Amino acid sequence: MQPVAVVTGVGRRLGRYLTDQLLDQGYRVFGQYHTSRVSASGESSLHLTQVDFRDSQALERWCQQILALTDRVDLLINNASLYQPDADTAADGMVQLTQCHQIHLQAPYLLMMHLNGRLQHAQGQIVNLTDIYIHHPNEDYSLYCATKAGLDSLTQSWARSLAPAVRVNSIEPGPILFLDEHSAEYRQQILARTLLQVEGGLEPIWQALWMLINNPYMTGARIPVDGGRSVAKL
């Protein structure tokens, strides 16, 4: 039977890459994007839906669409992320905090609650994408780090509460893919404090995910994929 994956944040970068790899492995993928849409042309196994996770009702409608179309979910990947430096004012900061909470905590929670029955039926698994900064927060990205740390806490709680039927793990990316706005100086500074001193790229995250998919004896694991940055001086 064709395995089914639900993936958030498929419009660009890591989410798009992971989606392509899952399709190559024969998965049927239900993908959420916000603004950057990946093309589904010619791909019958890819179901794309625009969902703004700041709207809980839109998220619930998406869950109902998934439930109507499949009786199983083998894999839920919570990848959607809002990576922004902290706002300069309290008013803007409160807006940003709310959005980080909605994307990093509320959306994964609601997806788990709505899809839990399908995950249980398939004896599936949840993989949450967190960040190595949950252990050593970046003071300029405190709201991002705090809510990603909350997702890590949910991961550990779900690993306990959903066992033994559903496995729950997390992957903690490090400097895998710089943003276009990152200067050469910034990139050099980051890589100088990364043991392997290279930008990782997206494939190592897929390799970690594929290992988790295929290892039935792992739950509650935190997998850093960061070139050794988390054990170097951040």
CATH of the domain at 76: 3.40.50.720
CA atoms in the 13 A half-sphere facing the CB of 81: 24
Ranges under pLDDT 50 in the chain: none
Beta bridge mates, 31: 7, 48
Structural domain containing residue 160: 4-231
pTM: 0.94
CA atoms in the 13 A half-sphere facing the CB of 122: 21
Beta bridge mates, 172: 224
- What's the structural domain count of the chain? 1
Percentage helix, strand, coil, to 5, in the chain?
Answer: 45, 15, 40
> What is the β-pairing status of strands 28-33 and 46-50?
parallel
pLDDT digits (tens, 9 = 90+) for 39-87: 665 578 999 999 999 999 999 999 999 999 999 999 999 999 999 999 9
